[in-house]
Amino acid sequence: MPMGVVGPDPPAPPVASRVVATEATARRLHRRGIEATSDGRPAAGARHLRTGLAQLGWHEHDGFVPQPGSTRDAVVARLLISLAYAESELGRTDYGFDLLTAAEPLVDPDDNGVLLSQRALMLYRTGRYTDAMRFFDEAIPWLGAERHVAVLCSTLLNRASVHLHAGRVSAARADLRRCEQLARRHRLGMLAAKAIHNRGYCELLAGHLPASLEAFAAAESLYREHAPGYLPVLHAARARALLTAGLPTEAGRTLDDVITASRRQRLTQEQAEAELLRAQAALRAGDHAVASAWARRAERRFRRRSNAAWAELAALARLRSDLPRARRLSALAARARTVAVGLRAVQLLPDAEMADLVGVRALVAAGRADLAAALVATIPRTPPPTPIELHLMRRLARAELAWARGDRTRTATEIRVGLSTLQQHRSRLGSVDLQASIATLGRELATMGLDRAFDRGSAMGIFSWSERSRAQAFQIPPVHPPADPQAAEAIAELRQLRHGLRTAERGHPDTVLARARCAELERLIRERTWRVGGPRQSQRAARPADVLAELAATDRTLVSFLARAGRLEALLVDSGRVRLLPLGEHAAAREATARLLADLDVLAAGGLPGPIEDVIHASLRRNLRTVAEHVIRPMEALLGDRDLVLVPTMELSSIPWGLLPAMRGRPVTVAASASAWLAAQRSARSTAERAPAGRPFLVAGPGLRFAEAEIDEVARAHPGSRTLAGPDATVASTLGGLDGASIAHLAAHGHHERENVLFSCLDLVDGPLMAYDIEQLKATPRQVSLSACDVGRAVVRPGDEILGFTAALLYAGTESVVSSVATVSHPGAVAVMTRYHRALAAGVAPSRALADASYADPIAPFVCFGAG
């Protein structure tokens, strides 16, 4: 991030006079101008600087007569140098360089480094990186004087930015380290903040996302103290990191705010950069028309600023957004070549390679594999560190080319290596939120791998590829984050506010401010978890032979669902083989699922007049039949009478499987993937062979009429259980009891938070127990049942990555979770859970215990997740 040249003015002479007083006023205005510009308010800075120049007799259209030997000329020169940068930031770039030229004959020789540094900065801001580096290098030897320490810091900071644009991370780190040390030694808080900010860019470019977010957070606290006007610039940097993490929606929201703030502060470069990032966010979200519009807007703004380098970056974004919609692919390939040449001319080598790879893909799609191969041979390989997005694009383009040339082996290798690299990148992340979202980056590679497997027609091959790209976050060992006092404080406040809101919803006054504060705390907590590093290890996807062996050993059939081109298909895995079966329409199943969940919610609430209740029951039966028709019936005859393991896709994860006609009374286990199921099975077997786990643990939450009666019944099935109820059922006590328990049962009000899914929760006496709290457990219970509404629901991200309260338990290591995908009728839940735990205590497996326990209840939406 750039920093305008700052520092003290030339020392005033010791003589008191009217001239000296005027110069002192000009110096004060100079300082104000620098402060305003450095705080991200160049328009205000320019006003102060112009007023200072007028004090000294300099006017834009009038002549100015130098006074050799006077201090006035040196002050005028410093004002002009600072005004040049402010005007350039306001979009008057050529005029800014004219002001630097006007300053040259007036500059004090001791300030020559200041002039050189400012010229370098303005060249950098207009994308002339080679020239900028030359002037930065020339300026630094002139800046050794104590009074120039701030200018030296700024110069090091800005030179580091040039290094970063060229991908020279080590050189950038060295400049930033020296800048931060000087800034801290001389108490230059804003410069220290900007050095830390740019250190975040270094970490991002090196692929260390948690460290990058940590640096941005440290810079934010300093900006709030020293330069709040630069917060939009920092927020844009964080949005860039969110894009790298595969969170385009969150990045887009942040960037909308950044664009508004930059426009208000007349930060034209920052506004254009944010618009470019907004284009990239739309591209990641798959909204290509919106991406193209944002990129075109950014490109126009950069060209008005005479910033050729950034204009080429915007042209690249537009190129990428046009590729999926292009009709004249050969013309788009030619355009890509032009953009690549332009990017190399300004030393943006990773982006130039990206443009060339877009050209390769366009040529392949146009049927010109020969030209694509020739182009690939000429593309210079970007030196490391390679951005993850470029690495994946490189693999995707080469895979498409290999397929077009009939090289099936090379195609598979390129896709496999790309997905493996993505998994290595995922393993560096400790946050499940980010581990799940990162799949967005590899969506095209994963889709291609599956499509090519379908083209080859091997059901076993399709199964293997689906497992390489499905729910890969479950392959990462759980991370137990270190103690974070700030996060703990935020969670405590959030818990208190949510507890108050629960009461307020029953009649207390306006809660708008409390809700706004909750949203702010949720954002803070979520962002702090993103900074946790990952284990840097990952399990491999399960081999089909191992899955088949486990299914045979447990006498089960596995069904893995896929959605392609609007249709559902199933991989039926049993009896030592894999079969591919066509099912029904995806949209029809999705819509019927949404309707049946709504029916269940209405019926669970109770109190309906008889005729209306009959109508809702009829609707529920109709929607269950529709789901069954599109999801189960086409393969029903092949399912036999074995227990089932179901691996749903997308919205199918919310189906209450036990209510489908063909599934009544049949043991069903729902897993995120075959690999996740196999790992849970092995974990359960390994745990059972070790020393017995802790006592069963039962909790009754507040406000639930039959909760205490329920845990009393469950406790009878598990003698020696530890129970919590009434005022004892606090979050801290519940977490303490869950840690290391063999079996846990919680009867409480549940809430699925779709917009912020890891804040899905169970209500306890002092506030909510949230999905985020689960990661605190050192040893999660082996089996958990949740007699609560909705907490079996999940948000499903690309790659069938799932997030929610139940998913949080599974990620943390719980083997089996029984929970509800809809609102539950609590009297009915008491009966189901009592029967379930009696069977469980008798040694019956969770999935069979649930099937038997819920058979008599036609609206019990409980599902067994995990090992089963």
Q: Which residue has the higher pLDDT, 292 or 498?
A: 292
| pLDDT above 50 for 663 | yes
Cβ atoms of 642 and 610 within 8 Å: the answer is: no
Containing 864, the helix (H) or strand (E) segment is: strand 862-866
Q: pLDDT by residue (tens digit) across 207-250?
A: 899 999 999 999 999 999 888 888 999 999 999 999 998 999 99
- Name which of 16-20, 306-310, 421-425, 607-611 the model is least confident about: 16-20
Extract the tokens encoding 200.
């975040």
Write down the pLDDT at residue 689.
60
The reply to whether 505 and 548 lie within a common domain is no
Extract the tokens encoding 327.
């009709």
- Asked if residue 754 is part of any domain, the answer here is yes
Q: Looking at residue 65, what DSSP letter applies?
A: -
Containing 556, the helix (H) or strand (E) segment is: strand 556-564
Q: Distance between CA atoms of 6 and 35, rounded to whole angstroms? A: 9
Of all residues in the chain, the percent with pLDDT exceeding 70 is 95
- Asked if residue 615 is part of any domain, the answer here is yes
Sign of CA dihedral 459, 461, 465, 470: positive
Q: Out of 473, 500, 530, pick the residue that ends a domain.
A: 530
Q: Looking at residue 702, what DSSP letter applies?
A: T
- What Cα–Cα distance (Å) separates residue 183 from each residue in 135, 149, 202? 22, 8, 19
Question: What distance, in Å, lies between the first and last C-alpha atoms of the chain?
Answer: 52
Q: pLDDT by residue (tens digit) across 677-727?
A: 999 999 888 776 665 667 899 999 998 888 999 999 999 999 999 999 999
Q: pLDDT by residue (tens digit) across 276-305?
A: 999 999 999 999 999 999 999 999 999 998
Residues 6+ apart with CB under 8 A from 265: 40, 41, 42, 43, 229, 232
Q: pLDDT by residue (tens digit) across 451-485?
A: 999 999 899 999 999 999 899 998 998 888 888 88
- Phi and psi of 773, rounded to 5°? -70, -25
The reply to whether 717 and 789 lie within a common domain is yes
Residue with tokens 């809660």: 511
CB count, 10 Å around CB of 509?
6
List the alpha helices (DSSP H) in 718-844.
Answer: 731-738, 805-812, 826-841
Q: Distance between CA atoms of 34 and 5, rounded to whole angstroms? A: 8
- Phi and psi of 429, rounded to 5°? -105, 130
| Reported confidence tier of residue 161, pLDDT bands at 50, 70, 90 | very high
The reply to whether 818 and 749 lie within a common domain is yes
Q: pLDDT by residue (tens digit) across 148-160?
A: 999 999 999 999 9
| Reported confidence tier of residue 508, pLDDT bands at 50, 70, 90 | low
The reply to whether 827 and 686 lie within a common domain is yes
| pLDDT above 60 for 73 | yes
Q: Which residue has the higher pLDDT, 838 or 147?
A: 838
Q: Distance between CA atoms of 44 and 628, rounded to whole angstroms? A: 66
Averaged pLDDT score across all residues of the chain: 90
- Asked if residue 560 is part of any domain, the answer here is yes
C-alpha closest to that of 372 among 381, 382, 363, 385: 363
Per the structure, the count of domains in the chain is: 2
Query: In what order do the strands lie in the sheet containing 761-764?
Result: 750-751, 761-764, 767-770
The reply to whether 593 and 711 lie within a common domain is yes
Q: Distance between CA atoms of 707 and 713, rounded to whole angstroms? A: 10
- Phi and psi of 56, rounded to 5°? -100, 10
Q: Distance between CA atoms of 623 and 299, rounded to whole angstroms? A: 50
Q: Which residue has the higher pLDDT, 535 or 135?
A: 135
Cβ atoms of 561 and 573 within 8 Å: the answer is: no
Write down the pLDDT at residue 2.
59
The reply to whether 505 and 536 lie within a common domain is no
Domain span including residue 495: 485-530
- Asked if residue 61 is part of any domain, the answer here is no
User: How would you classify the pairing of strands 567-574 and 577-585?
Assistant: antiparallel
- Amino acid of residue 767: G
| Reported confidence tier of residue 8, pLDDT bands at 50, 70, 90 | low
3-state DSSP assignment of residue 57: coil
Cβ atoms of 785 and 817 within 8 Å: the answer is: yes
- What Cα–Cα distance (Å) separates residue 393 from each residue in 339, 608, 816? 17, 56, 38
Q: pLDDT by residue (tens digit) across 372-388?
A: 999 999 999 888 888 89
- Amino acid of residue 549: A
Q: pLDDT by residue (tens digit) across 103-147?
A: 999 998 888 999 999 999 999 988 888 999 999 999 999 998 888
Write down the pLDDT at residue 505.
56
Cβ atoms of 593 and 610 within 8 Å: the answer is: no
Containing 92, the helix (H) or strand (E) segment is: none
| pLDDT above 60 for 6 | no
- Amino acid of residue 12: A
Residue 814 exposure: Cα atoms within 13 Å on the Cβ side: 31
The reply to whether 513 and 474 lie within a common domain is no
209-226 and 231-244 helices cross at what angle (nearest 10)? 170
In degrees, rounded to 5, the angle at the alpha carbon of residue 352 between the alpha carbons of residues 350 and 357 is 95
- Asked if residue 510 is part of any domain, the answer here is yes
Residues 6+ apart with CB under 8 A from 603: 613, 616, 617, 620, 825, 859
The reply to whether 499 and 611 lie within a common domain is no
Q: pLDDT by residue (tens digit) across 16-71?
A: 456 678 888 999 999 999 888 877 788 999 999 999 999 888 887 666 667 776 78
Q: Out of 493, 510, 530, pick the residue that ends a domain.
A: 530
Q: Distance between CA atoms of 543 and 559, rounded to whole angstroms? A: 16
What are the beta bridge partners of residue 694?
A: 741
Q: Distance between CA atoms of 83 and 89, rounded to whole angstroms? A: 10
Write down the pLDDT at residue 1.
45
Write down the pLDDT at residue 65.
65
Q: Looking at residue 118, what DSSP letter applies?
A: H
Q: Distance between CA atoms of 364 and 337, rounded to whole angstroms? A: 14
Cβ atoms of 657 and 862 within 8 Å: the answer is: no
Q: pLDDT by residue (tens digit) across 609-645?
A: 888 989 999 999 999 999 999 999 999 999 989 999 9
The reply to whether 525 and 650 lie within a common domain is no
- Asked if residue 793 is part of any domain, the answer here is yes
- Name which of 560-564, 665-669, 820-824 the model is least confident about: 820-824
List the alpha helices (DSSP H) in 671-739.
Answer: 674-689, 707-717, 731-738
List the alpha helices (DSSP H) in 457-542.
Answer: 459-469, 485-504, 512-530
Residue with tokens 């969670």: 491
Burial class for 101, CB neighbours closer than 10 Å (0-12, 13-18, 19+)? exposed
- Asked if residue 103 is part of any domain, the answer here is no
Q: pLDDT by residue (tens digit) across 782-819?
A: 999 999 888 888 989 889 999 899 999 999 999 999 99
Count of residues for the chain?
A: 868
Residue with tokens 């900028």: 132
Cβ atoms of 70 and 85 within 8 Å: the answer is: no
What are the beta bridge partners of residue 787?
A: 747
Q: Distance between CA atoms of 328 and 692, rounded to whole angstroms? A: 67
Write down the pLDDT at residue 254.
94
CA 738 to chain centre: 29
| pLDDT above 60 for 10 | no
Extract the tokens encoding 323.
């590729």
Write down the pLDDT at residue 305.
85
The reply to whether 514 and 589 lie within a common domain is no
Extract the tokens encoding 629.
């028709």
Write down the pLDDT at residue 691.
54
Supply the pTM of this predicted model.
Answer: 0.85
Residues 6+ apart with CB under 8 A from 132: 120, 121, 123, 124, 158, 162
Write down the pLDDT at residue 15.
47
The reply to whether 561 and 517 lie within a common domain is no
Q: Distance between CA atoms of 156 and 436, rounded to whole angstroms? A: 38
- Asked if residue 826 is part of any domain, the answer here is yes
The reply to whether 682 and 607 lie within a common domain is yes
Extract the tokens encoding 471.
């729910």
Of all residues in the chain, the percent with pLDDT exceeding 90 is 64
